[in-house]
Copies of this chain bind each other. A is one copy, B any other.
Amino acid sequence: MNSFGRIFRIHIFGESHGQGVGITLDGVPAGLPVTFMDFAEDLGRRRAGAKGTTPRKEADLPKLLTGVFNERATGAPLTILFENTNVRSKDYDKLREMPRPGHADFVASKKYAGYEDYRGGGHFSARLTTGIVAAGVIAKKLISPVHIEAKLTEAGGNPDIDAAIDKAMEEQNSIGGIIECRAQGLPIGLGEPFFDSMESLLAHMMFAIPAVKGIEFGSGFGAAKMKGSEHNDNILSMDGKTGTNHAGGINGGISNGNELVFRLAIKPTSSISLDQQTLNVKTGKVETLKVDGRHDLCVALRAPVIVEAATALVLADLMMLEQLTVRRIRE
């Protein structure tokens, strides 16, 4: 489903090489200040340009199509459109015969019986995350003063990320990475039993981000090796602050007032310049594929702002459900 959320809802659409990508937000409180310039910083962080990112550069100018009037949200659906401008579809035409390993090419052609827009990954492209980042800008306003920060803590297994990128460029290979996300200032009580635990909703959203293959909260996989006496976070004060934070700020699926901490495993970019052996669906034989196009060496480089946005979207919906953010702004 291309929708997420219960009260603060988002609906995503678009393709990498079509007319554009965008997102519609339903449930934005009327009166929330929204201007074109609000989006610049976060979209800038997502945009390509730095070392290790794709040479395809999109201006990523958000078009506030609906739901904003006099620089305020109106309470009606807020649609943000990003028109595609820098499109080179010919790069992808020959890939029809040879689905790229690691990409959705093969499964998409099966699921959609060959009618999918295959250019640049179509609806599966990471370009769709532009909409997530834009929606996150709105969500961050709503959950203020909760502060979210995500960063890349290692790339290709190396905490020296600059060195890791240099090495990958040298090897013409791609690398994965670990994103760590932390949020301070969360109220106690977010998350809904039984199925909408904080972990459930955050994980649901995070696994929508292309290339995410794992998530852990607090001590996560490390907790599986711990003893109860080590893992339990002793509660020390009436506002729920604990001595340690092995739980990552969540007990029983509910935020406990401590820092929210989770980590994401990002796989290496599937597109690599090196030769790969894969199926030619026309001949039915395994052949050599060389992917041209323009790609990121490490998608994880651009992911932190997407992860922050995704986190903000989940928190905004949960806080609205808990009536901790308002349905209308009054000033």
Interface residues of A (CB under 8 A from B): 1-4, 6-7, 9, 11-15, 18-22, 24, 26, 30-31, 63, 65-67, 69-70, 72-79, 81, 99, 101-104, 106-108, 110-117, 119, 121-124, 128, 154, 156-157, 168, 171, 173-178, 188-189, 192-197, 199-201, 203-208, 210, 212-238, 240, 242, 246-248, 251-256, 265-272, 274, 276-279, 281, 284, 286, 300, 321-323, 326-330
Contact = CB atoms under 8 A, between A and B. Distances in A.
A113 B30 CA distance: 7
Given A203-B203, A227-B168, A240 B112 contact: no
B229 A272 contact: yes
A284 B76 CA distance: 27
Given A18-B66, A104-B253, A208-B200, A227 B2 contact: no
A128 B217 CA distance: 22
A286 B221 CA distance: 29
A211 to B, nearest CB: 9
A284 B209 CA distance: 43
A237 B279 CA distance: 6
17 contacts: A30-B112, A69-B116, A72-B115, A73-B115, A75-B112, A76-B123, A103-B251, A108-B252, A200-B207, A203-B207, A214-B220, A215-B215, A216-B216, A224-B266, A228-B271, A228-B274, A235-B278
B223 A176 contact: yes
Nearest to A129: B194
A15 B281 CA distance: 47
A197 B2 CA distance: 10
Contact of A213 (B67, B178, B248): B248
Q: Quick one: copies of this chain in the complex? A: 4
B238 A281 contact: yes
A7 B327 CA distance: 14
A277 B284 CA distance: 63
B240 A110 contact: yes
